[in-house]
Amino acid sequence: MALSEFDLIRVFFADLGAARPDVLLGVGDDCALLRVPAGRDLAVSIDTLVCGTHFLACDDPESLGHKALAVNLSDLAAMGAEPAWATLALTLPEVDAGWLAAFSRGFSNLARRYGISLVGGDTTRGPLSITIQVHGFVEPGMALRRGGARPGDLIYVSGELGDAALALLSQGGVPVALEALPGVLDRLHRPEPRLDLSARVRGIATACIDVSDGLGADLGHICESSGCSALIRSGSLPLSQAVRDYISATGDWGVALSGGDDYELCLTVPPECREVLESAVAGLSVGLRWIGTVEEGAGVRCLMPDGRVSQVTGRGYDHFC
């Protein structure tokens, strides 16, 4: 039996994610009614995934539900905000109940893990596209903006860089060692928002961004907003064995320096806060690695293994170039 738009919303998108007392009214009315806790600021971010640009029609819908929410939560993490609510605008070419069930399961499992409630959205017919807006809270003055880095600050990055870019290359036919492939593909299709890390570095980091367009591009945004430059060391970059093997075979540092989709956090701290930072993040499952230093000037440079310093030009993905 064909599902109507309203059945579809009721079956797949009512009561998704965590139940929260600050949701006075969720899915079903003209608006959601939400209560921001007194004395906290609201952080809001939105991201769209378009079929053919950000993912393929044949991609696993459960992973897609996870990723569409994860990339948004990554923005809240980068801002130092604690996640609360999400809305979902879904454009579908047709109603495919199996696809919708898997998509909403992927979304809901991640939402529950981080206590997020889906409070509303919009459902339309057209080329497949997924837009999610997330809302979180942050103490006044505590948001991790891009513009606070100062010369002398240390630059850190979480997790490992380049796996997602390697996964994309492997989908295009570049061979990746078979035993490494599942892990690498997972990093592309099921990124983990670094919210736990973000909560620990709030109040310590001077600037923060999530690496969605590549380290060069995103650290470049910190430099531009902060009015300074960055010098990083290729030898300090946290890389998986698969990425190391790929770089030794090809000499292509682009996966680590300009590859996008890793959703790790890149942040800066004053040198005197180094020990405070390292003890604040001790015990987390994700690591944090010191990769370089903020300097006067502009742009991102990298000390390469041959001793030369290269300008990292990774401009990230530009939808209109």
Q: Which of 48, 91, 109, 123 binds ligand ADP (CB under 6 A)?
A: 123
Amino acid at 213: D
Q: Which stretch binds ligand ADP (CB under 6 A): 22-30, 134-142, 181-189, 238-246?
A: 22-30
- The item of ligand ADP, Mg ion, none sharing an interface with residue 28, based on CB under 5 to 8 Å by kind, is ligand ADP
Q: How far is the CB of 9 from ligand ADP (least distance, A)?
A: 5
Nearest to 301 by CA among 248, 252, 234: 234
**Residue count at the site for ligand ADP (CB under 6 A)?**
13
Q: Which residues pair with 129 in a beta bridge?
A: 50, 91
Q: What is the rounded distance in angstroms from the CA atom of residue 257 to the CA atom of residue 239?
A: 11
- The item of Mg ion, ligand ADP, none sharing an interface with residue 27, based on CB under 5 to 8 Å by kind, is ligand ADP
CB nearer to ligand ADP: pick between 90 and 281? 90
Rule CB under 6 A: say whether 91 interacts with ligand ADP: no
Strands (E) in the chain, as ranges, are 23-25, 33-34, 41-50, 82-92, 117-125, 129-138, 154-158, 207-211, 229-233, 264-269, 288-295, 299-303, 309-311
CB nearer to ligand ADP: pick between 13 and 137? 13
Q: How far is the CB of 76 from ligand ADP (least distance, A)?
A: 19
Rule CB under 6 A: say whether 122 interacts with ligand ADP: yes
CB nearer to ligand ADP: pick between 13 and 246? 13
- The secondary structure element, H or E, covering residue 107 is helix 97-113
Angle between helices 163-171 and 181-189 (to 10 degrees): 100
**Residue 134 is encoded by which pair of tokens?**
């997330």
Q: Tell me the residue length of the chain.
A: 321
CB nearer to ligand ADP: pick between 13 and 114? 13
- The item of ligand ADP, Mg ion, none sharing an interface with residue 179, based on CB under 5 to 8 Å by kind, is none
Rule CB under 6 A: say whether 278 interacts with ligand ADP: no
Rule CB under 6 A: say whether 205 interacts with ligand ADP: no
Rule CB under 6 A: say whether 114 interacts with ligand ADP: no
Q: How far is the CB of 6 from ligand ADP (least distance, A)?
A: 7
Dihedral sign for Cα 257, 259, 260, 264, please: negative
Q: Which of 2, 21, 30, 285 binds ligand ADP (CB under 6 A)?
A: 30
**Residue 29 is encoded by which pair of tokens?**
């009315």
CB nearer to ligand ADP: pick between 134 and 185? 134
Rule CB under 6 A: say whether 120 interacts with ligand ADP: yes
Amino acid at 235: G
CB nearer to Mg ion: pick between 95 and 231? 95
CB nearer to Mg ion: pick between 133 and 226? 133
CB nearer to Mg ion: pick between 90 and 215? 90
Q: How far is the CB of 24 from ligand ADP (least distance, A)?
A: 13
Task: Determine the straight-line distance between the first and last CA of the chain, rounded to whole angstroms.
Answer: 44
DSSP label at residue 280: H
Nearest to 231 by CA among 138, 304, 303: 303
Q: What is the rounded distance in angstroms from the CA atom of residue 258 to the CA atom of residue 218?
A: 9
Q: Is 273 helix (H, G, I), strand (E, B) or coil?
A: helix
Which string of DSSP letters, residue by residue, matches 80-95? TPEEEEEEEEEEESS-
Rule CB under 6 A: say whether 88 interacts with ligand ADP: yes
Contacting residues toward Mg ion, per CB under 5 A: 122
Rule CB under 6 A: say whether 94 interacts with ligand ADP: no
Q: Which residues bind ligand ADP (CB under 6 A)?
A: 9, 13, 27-30, 88, 90, 118, 120-123
